Amino acid sequence: MRAPTENQYRSLLSLGSASAGLSWSKRKTEPFLRRGWVTAEWEAPFYQWVRITAEGLRALAEGVERYGLPELGPHASRARVCSNCKSTMRACANCGCRSYRWETLEAFQ
């Protein structure tokens, strides 16, 4: 079995949790289909319901051996807050402002 490239490994990693890819391009999907790593339904102009196969899981394991597991991201999230008072309500009841900005919030550990 041929090992996946690093970009292919990243794509397989997103499917490794038994999730399905929706609307994948033909260019991205066909190399996976040729190797038997995924199954998909063709609905022009995109492949729908791209799912990993047992052979794809083996390729994913090969990718983990070659490239290692990805680093866990920072424990933070982004939230939409009021520009004036930092309220998280959609239309701010505190100040009546309708403008907002995105702010990084630390996640609980």
pLDDT in tens, 67-101: 999 887 777 778 888 878 877 776 677 787 778 88
In this predicted model, which residue has the larger pLDDT, 77 or 61? 61
Percent of the chain with pLDDT over 70: 93
Q: Which residues pair with 39 in a beta bridge?
A: 51
**pLDDT at residue 42, rounded to an integer:** 95
User: Is residue 1 included in any domain, yes or no?
Assistant: no
Q: Round to whole Å and give the CA distance between 54 and 63.
A: 14
Strands (DSSP E) found in 1-109: 38-43, 46-52, 76-82, 100-106
Provide mean pLDDT across the span 2-28: 92
Q: Supply the range of the domain harboring residue 23.
A: 6-67
Q: Round to whole Å and give the CA distance between 95 and 93.
A: 6
Same domain, 12 and 58: yes
Whether the per-residue pLDDT at 37 is higher than 80: the answer is yes
Same domain, 58 and 10: yes
Same domain, 58 and 92: no
Least confident range from 12-16, 23-27, 45-49, 74-78: namely: 74-78
**pLDDT at residue 76, rounded to an integer:** 73
**pLDDT at residue 90, rounded to an integer:** 67
